[in-house]
């Protein structure tokens, strides 16, 4: 089976999905408002789509599958606000729609485990907006909607290595704090598995097997680079933006049983250890032996 995927807000995850599926004959279109970004998409064989009614209308007429990764803004969902009517009209003809949400919808569980049956009790306005967006997408009649709740995303160009190399890594310690995370390639393989076996109405947590304290990831990355990790900093003394600080208001472990049992996903990076090693191995193959500045 092949088809045409339209991505609203084509970004990091959509790039990984396209890289996985295009070699098998899938076509990709991605919305963007940035002319430079449009050129970059086109150079990789992804058709850029202007964020405008006529362009999106034409794209939806061609699309068999839709992926939405645009975050809520101003209390609403930008994609539905702009194109809800077009999407509703096309809904009966789409094979699959994926909405990228966040595990923040579960709120704080003091380090406890959550799964897809856990009540949605968001702790921040940002996460409450995600709950509202999930519900809004669920009201579109006949839409074959699948929701994917993502924790912290990392991968090439977006990992602890990058923060260590730019000097922005902090080993922040808040007793009892744990986060879940997921490598971008495992998000891509989960989306592809769902596309291959649609189950409209389903929600999936897409997380790895090893929730852990964030300072452990920094320490492990530093060890792989052969450098001293930054010193531990108590959370109360950490230099964090208000948004970064808000993430520490929640602590939970995210179960991924559903993607493995229902979709048959075998994680490429079951923990951050395999994920960081894979990133470093790819860098080594591309550049030679990596150093702290990333140049072999």
Whether 146 maps to a domain, the answer reads yes
4 and 21 in contact (C-beta within 8 Å)?
A: no
What secondary structure does DSSP assign to 243-259, as a single string? HHHHHTT---EE--HHH
Total number of domains constituting the chain = 1
What is the pLDDT, as a whole number, of residue 266? 98
Task: Report the SS3 class of residue 202.
Answer: coil
| Domain presence at residue 58 | yes
Q: What is the pLDDT of residue 246?
A: 85
151 found inside a domain: yes
> Hey, is 161 helix, strand or coil?
helix
pLDDT for 240: 87
Its domain, for residue 266, covers: 4-159+180-212+253-273
CB 251 within 8 A of CB 189: no
Q: Tell me the CA end-to-end span of the chain in Å, nearest whole number.
A: 41
* Domain membership flag for residue 221: no
Largest CA distance in the chain: 57
Is 220 within a domain? no
C-beta atoms surrounding 257 within 10 Å: 10
CB 55 within 8 A of CB 33: no
Q: Token pair for residue 118?
A: 């856990």
pLDDT of residue 289: 62
Residue 42 lies in a domain: yes
Per the CB < 8 A criterion, the answer to whether 53 and 85 are in contact is no
- By DSSP bridging, strand 96-102 and strand 145-150 are parallel
Give residue 247's pLDDT. Answer: 85
CATH code: domain of residue 103: 3.40.50.720
The residue ranges of the chain whose pLDDT is under 50 are 295-296
Q: Is residue 242 domain-resident?
A: no
Give the pairing type, strands 171-173 and 152-154: unpaired
Residue 174 within any structural domain of the chain: no
pLDDT at 296: 42
pLDDT tens, residue by residue, 77-115 = 999 999 999 999 999 999 999 999 999 999 999 999 999
Q: Which residues pair with 76 in a beta bridge?
A: 73
């Amino acid at each position: 089976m092949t088809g045409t995927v339209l991505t609203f807000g084509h970004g990091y995850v959509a790039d990984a999905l396209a890289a996985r599926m295009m070699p098998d004959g899938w076509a990709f279109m991605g919305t963007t408002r940035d002319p430079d970004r449009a050129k970059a998409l086109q150079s990789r064989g992804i058709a850029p789509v202007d964020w405008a009614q006529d362009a999106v209308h034409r794209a939806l007429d061609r699309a068999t599958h839709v992926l939405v990764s645009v975050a809520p803004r101003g209390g609403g969902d930008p994609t539905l606000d702009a194109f809800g009517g077009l999407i509703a009209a096309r809904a009966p003809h789409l094979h699959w729609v994926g909405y990228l949400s966040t595990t923040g919808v579960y709120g704080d569980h003091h380090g406890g485990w959550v799964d897809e049956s856990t009540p949605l009790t968001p702790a921040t306005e940002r996460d409450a907006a995600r709950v509202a967006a999930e519900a809004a997408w669920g009201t579109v009649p006949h839409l074959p909607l699948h929701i994917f709740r993502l924790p912290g995303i990392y991968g090439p160009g977006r990992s602890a290595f990058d923060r260590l190399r730019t000097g922005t890594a902090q080993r922040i310690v808040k007793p009892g704090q744990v986060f879940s995370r997921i490598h971008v390639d495992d998000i891509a393989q989960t989306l592809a598995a769902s596309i291959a076996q649609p189950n409209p109405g389903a929600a999936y947590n897409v997380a790895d097997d090893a929730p852990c304290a964030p300072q452990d990831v920094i320490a492990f990355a530093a060890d792989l680079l052969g450098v001293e990790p930054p010193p531990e900093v108590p959370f109360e003394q950490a230099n964090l933006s208000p948004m970064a600080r808000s993430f520490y208001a929640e602590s939970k472990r995210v179960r991924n049983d559903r993607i493995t049992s229902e979709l048959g996903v075998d994680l490429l990076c079951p923990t951050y250890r395999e994920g960081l090693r894979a990133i470093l191995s790819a860098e080594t193959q591309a550049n030679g032996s990596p150093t702290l500045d990333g140049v072999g």
